[in-house]
């Protein structure tokens, strides 16, 4: 196109000048034109090459994008699949937990304090039995103050099996009161409005536990006794002497309680003092035999109460005079909860101090007695870290 315009221009120029100059100019211009055409064709060629390169690059980019898109989709699907699997496993675990309440299992032979008790051989399956119960406390979800009944110290607790509620006014007596529900207790005008139960051997402290129609309590006379009392027909089902030399309290801030009993689907536990620390014993819920003992290494000093969730002991500390109660020491019988994993749990500020904290596994809440107030603390639980990762090698 450019060449054509140039040629016309040349023709016009040629006619206006003399023939003489014509040939020389013509040669000169022709040479220039050839050079230009050459450059144009070179440019065309380059342009074509560039175009085809660009096309190729576009194609490659499109392929790459398509592949990336596909991989992204696949990743997304994989993640959704994994999420669904985790959900399903959690649901299955919840189901298994409701169907088979977890059984006790022991571990940590090195932690055992060997005394003249029957120490059972640890079986391999025991690890897997406990793995069903995999919760640790993550936070305090809610709190409810129900009522103020009775004296500053006492116990109230609910039988996780029978759903009946029991109140123990004070720290030593031979009577307790039974209510059909928490509502019945909060609607009553006093502790003594419940059904009165009188036990033949008096109870001491705040270490009582009620589970599946049985009351487990400590009686201090010449000997320290653990008593199993049948609440259905009002009789002592069994009793055992608790092997403890010195009579110091398990929690320094509650001097009336020497031994704290916990009964749950894992069986019967006893928290008791040993030197400056708190020890834990696992007892047979039927025979009251002591099966195994651990030193939790949790100090008794400034301890106020403790509770057990899925084989993990949470010791609650306070100060004298009382300030905020907090979980400051955690001990797991399976050695599976690292100290960093269990968060420090602070209780809301109250005027008094807890004389007892009784955990109900069905409701996941604590029945607390604080300066005569009956309080419920709802706990948020999460899975133990090892439960969502492969179990460690034996």
Alpha-carbon distance of 378 to 140, in angstroms, equals 6
Distances (CA, A) of 289 to 105, 111, 267: 15, 19, 11
Sign, CA dihedral 239-291-283-226, equals positive
Q: Please say which residue, 104 or 154, places its beta carbon nearer to ligand NAG.
A: 154
Alpha-carbon distance of 226 to 203, in angstroms, equals 10
For the chain, the straight-line distance linking the first and the last C-alpha, in angstroms and rounded, comes to 86
Provide the minimum distance between the beta carbon of 234 and ligand NAG in the complex, in angstroms, as a whole number.
7
Distances (CA, A) of 95 to 90, 101, 132, 133: 9, 10, 10, 11
Q: Please say which residue, 232 or 349, places its beta carbon nearer to ligand NAG.
A: 232
The helix, strand and coil proportions of the chain, stated in percent and rounded to the nearest 5, come to 30, 35, 35
Provide the minimum distance between the beta carbon of 319 and ligand NAG in the complex, in angstroms, as a whole number.
25
Q: Cα-flanking dihedrals φ and ψ of residue 374, to 5°? A: -95, 120
Provide the minimum distance between the beta carbon of 205 and ligand NAG in the complex, in angstroms, as a whole number.
8
Provide the minimum distance between the beta carbon of 150 and ligand NAG in the complex, in angstroms, as a whole number.
4
Cα angle for residues 63, 66, 69 (degrees, 5° grid): 150
Cβ(112)–Cβ(293) below 8 Å:
yes
Question: Residue 370 in 3-state DSSP?
Answer: strand
Provide the minimum distance between the beta carbon of 226 and ligand NAG in the complex, in angstroms, as a whole number.
14
Q: Please say which residue, 71 or 286, places its beta carbon nearer to ligand NAG.
A: 286
Q: Please say which residue, 180 or 192, places its beta carbon nearer to ligand NAG.
A: 192
Q: Please say which residue, 87 or 230, places its beta carbon nearer to ligand NAG.
A: 230
Provide the minimum distance between the beta carbon of 363 and ligand NAG in the complex, in angstroms, as a whole number.
25
Alpha-carbon distance of 204 to 220, in angstroms, equals 6
Cβ(184)–Cβ(165) below 8 Å:
yes
Residue ranges in contact with ligand NAG by CB under 6 A: 150-151, 169-170, 172-173, 190-192, 202, 204, 220, 230, 233, 235
Provide the minimum distance between the beta carbon of 235 and ligand NAG in the complex, in angstroms, as a whole number.
4
Give 138's strand partners.
Answer: none
Q: Please say which residue, 15 or 232, places its beta carbon nearer to ligand NAG.
A: 232
Among residues 332, 347, 336, 340, the alpha carbon closest in space to that of 378 is found at 347
Q: Please say which residue, 138 or 175, places its beta carbon nearer to ligand NAG.
A: 175
Q: Please say which residue, 140 or 202, places its beta carbon nearer to ligand NAG.
A: 202
Beta-carbon contacts of 28 under 8 Å, excluding residues fewer than 6 positions away, are none
Provide the minimum distance between the beta carbon of 389 and ligand NAG in the complex, in angstroms, as a whole number.
45
- Tokens describing residue 328: 């400051």
Provide the minimum distance between the beta carbon of 169 and ligand NAG in the complex, in angstroms, as a whole number.
4
Q: Please say which residue, 16 or 189, places its beta carbon nearer to ligand NAG.
A: 189
Provide the minimum distance between the beta carbon of 173 and ligand NAG in the complex, in angstroms, as a whole number.
5
| Number of Cβ atoms within 10 Å of the Cβ of 315 | 25
Alpha-carbon distance of 42 to 40, in angstroms, equals 5
């Amino acid at each position: 196109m450019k060449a054509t315009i140039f040629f016309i221009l040349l023709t016009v120029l040629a006619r206006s000048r003399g023939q003489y100059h014509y040939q020389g100019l013509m040669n000169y211009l022709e040479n220039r034109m050839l050079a230009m055409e050459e450059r144009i064709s070179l440019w065309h060629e380059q342009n074509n090459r560039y175009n085809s390169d660009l096309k190729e690059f576009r194609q490659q980019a499109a392929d790459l994008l398509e592949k990336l898109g596909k991989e992204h989709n696949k990743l997304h699907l994989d993640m959704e699949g994994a999420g669904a699997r985790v959900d399903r496993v959690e649901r299955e675990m919840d189901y298994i937990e409701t169907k088979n309440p977890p059984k006790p299992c022991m571990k940590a032979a090195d932690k055992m304090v060997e005394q003249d008790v029957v120490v059972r051989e640890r079986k391999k399956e025991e690890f897997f039995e406990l793995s069903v119960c995999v919760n640790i406390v993550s936070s305090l979800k809610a709190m409810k103050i129900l009522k103020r009944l009775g004296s500053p110290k006492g116990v109230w607790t609910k039988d996780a099996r029978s759903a009946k509620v029991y109140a123990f006014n004070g720290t030593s007596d031979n009577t307790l009161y039974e209510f059909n529900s928490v509502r019945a207790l909060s609607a009553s005008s006093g502790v003594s409005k419940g059904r009165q139960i009188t036990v033949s051997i008096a109870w001491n402290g705040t270490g009582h536990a009620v589970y599946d129609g049985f009351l487990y309590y400590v009686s201090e006379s010449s000997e320290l006794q653990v008593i199993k009392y049948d609440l259905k027909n009002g009789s002592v089902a069994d009793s055992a002497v608790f092997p403890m030399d010195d009579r110091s309290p398990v929690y320094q801030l509650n001097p009336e309680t020497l031994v704290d009993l916990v009964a749950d689907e894992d069986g019967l536990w006893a928290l008791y003092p040993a030197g400056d620390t708190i020890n834990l014993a696992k007892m047979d819920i039927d025979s009251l035999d002591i099966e195994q003992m651990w030193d939790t290494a949790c100090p008794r000093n400034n301890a106020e109460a403790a509770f057990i969730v899925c084989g993990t002991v949470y010791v609650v500390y306070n100060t004298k005079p009382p300030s905020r109660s907090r979980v400051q020491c955690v001990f797991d019988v399976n050695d599976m909860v690292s100290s960093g994993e269990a968060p420090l749990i602070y209780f809301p500020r109250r005027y008094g101090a807890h004389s007892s904290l009784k955990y109900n596994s069905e409701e996941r809440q604590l029945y607390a007695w604080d300066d005569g107030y009956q309080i419920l603390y709802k706990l948020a639980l999460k899975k133990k870290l090892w439960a969502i990762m492969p179990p460690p090698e034996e």
